[in-house]
Chains A and B, each alone.
Chain A
């Protein structure tokens, strides 16, 4: 049954690749890649359970972190066309915290 779950997730990943190919805008593609990453985390965990080697979960944790950072980095790059811009706006907008 875990194998069936793994296959369902893999089918979902293949369908997401379709969205990444045809997505009309850049943001559709980034959304597809981000969702693909979440599914990869789940697929890695399930693969560990199917192969009865739960050590795969370490890779899944790392992938969860890298997926988030890469999404933010890609978005930042396409917004400013550079990685050299600070994202933090200190002292502007919002209430500074006490």
Chain B
């Protein structure tokens, strides 16, 4: 039993570095996708949706990847604190932004947006 646990632990120590690095890379690529969305979408409200990819899945994947790479519990607790902060504050900031834009009288684009309406800001 103890040997099995030791085997699992050894395997985990080998596996976690490539896995963590891969998750970091995947998360940062998702951040890039969110940025491309921020550049492409037509108005402020739709850009908020693209930015929330960065805030949720991108940040979560990068932070979990760094947790797998981390050398000790202290680093994991710090990463967990960052994760909790981001998950609590990012929707609040998004809502404040949307609410401020709405109060300022910026009208959202409603209805189907085809490719002909896309501006030439494509990255």
Contacts and interface: CB of A to CB of B under 8 A. Distances in A.
Contacts, number: 146
Interface residues of B, number: 50
B51 A5 contact: no
A2 interface: yes
Is the contact region of chain A dominated by helix, strand, or loop, or is it mixed?
Answer: helix
Contacts of A13: 35
Interface in A1-39: 1-2, 4-6, 8-9, 11-13, 15-16, 18-19, 22, 25, 27-28, 30-32, 34-35, 38-39
A12, A15, A28, most chain B CB atoms within 10 A: A12
B38 A25 contact: no
Interface in B13-37: 18, 21-22, 24-25, 27-29, 31-32, 34-36
A61 B31 contact: no
B31 A8 contact: yes
Contacts of B109: none
B38 A19 contact: yes
B9 interface: no
Interface in A48-69: 49, 54, 57-58, 60-61, 64-65, 67-68
